Amino acid sequence: MKLNCLIIDDEPLARKGLKEYISDVDFLNLAGEYESPLKAVEKLNEIAAIHLLFLDIQMPKINGIEFFKTLQHAPPVIFTTAYPQYALEGFDVNALDYLVKPISFDRFLKAVMKAKEFYEVRQQNLSNETSGEYFFVKADNRLVKIAFTDILYAEALQNYVTIHTVDKKFMTYLTFKSMEEYLPADKFIKTHKSYIVAAAKIDSIEGNDIRIGSSHIPISRNEKDTEMEKLLKGKLLKR
């Protein structure tokens, strides 16, 4: 599968470097380049056409991270910037990776391999979706099969997602957003920007704290009312 890439960077030399790197990787295809995020909006709305976004952060008029947050159907993103202090904020929006300029080819290749693995795993999951019982993730350099019924909760950790199951936990290169979109909405709830829990595995709820076995999972104020209503609907016995 060829991954169609889009570059958004206000620096001509940075765009030129990325274009050269993309041309050297056989599974990448440059679908377009823009000096401003605002000029790229129409192209990004072609959801199926763009698989990977290379996005600068420090740009005139709008910050790349803030722009990315405005996208309703954003493709996986790799941030490119000369300012390493933005790294944590970049991973907070579930970026695949964060490249600090000047970008070496080996570091670029490591980042795009994450994108390749992301789509390979997603394709594998789609082919098994009809079963509705399990999926595969790349963990420990192998594809691991995980049953929905074994999941306790999933946790975002920078550019990783850790899936906690009844037996063990698996750390995998995934965006938290892709994990949230894949898990069945009727069985899993997002309690916090970094946590998704299996509703059937919840032992107790107290205030802003969910207990699953010995684990404590927070409920954010923004999610509490909506998710608690969904969780307790038809399940809460009253006098």
Q: CA–CA separation, 50 vs 76, rounded Å?
A: 9
Assign residue 141 a region: left if phi > 0, alpha if psi is -120 to 50, beta otherwise?
Answer: left
The H-or-E segment that residue 152 falls in is strand 151-157
Q: Quick one: 112 exposed, middle or buried, by C-beta within 10 A (0-12, 13-18, 19+)?
A: buried
- Asked which of 79-83, 84-88, 108-112 is least confident by mean pLDDT, the reply is 84-88
pLDDT (0 to 100) of residue 16? 96
Report the largest interatomic distance among the alpha carbons of the chain, rounded to a whole angstrom.
69
Distances in Å between the alpha carbon of 43 and those of 71, 73, 81, 116, 178? 12, 12, 22, 21, 21
Give the separation between CA 144 and CA 163, rounded to whole angstroms. 11
* Ordered domains of the chain (ranges, CATH): 3-124 (3.40.50.2300), 132-232 (2.40.50.1020)
The better pLDDT of the pair 1, 56 is held by 56
Looking at the DSSP bridge assignments, the partners of residue 204 are 211
Give the phi and the psi of residue 215 in degrees, each rounded to 5: -90, 145
90-132 pLDDT, tens digit each: 566 778 888 999 999 999 999 999 899 888 877 766 655 545 6
DSSP of 44-89 = HT-GGG--EEEEESS-SSS-HHHHHHH-TTPPPEEEEES-GGGHHH
Edge-first strand order for the sheet with 28-34 is 28-34, 3-8, 52-56, 77-81, 97-100
For residue range 16-61, list pLDDT tens digits in order. 999 999 999 999 999 999 999 988 887 787 656 889 999 999 888 8
pLDDT at residue 130 in the model: 47
pLDDT in tens, 145-172: 888 889 999 998 877 899 999 889 999 8
By mean pLDDT, which of 83-87, 194-198, 214-218 is the weakest?
83-87
3-state secondary structure of 29: strand
Q: Structure pTM?
A: 0.60
| Tokens coding 190 | 């997002």
CA distances from 100 to 25, 103, 159 (A): 20, 6, 15
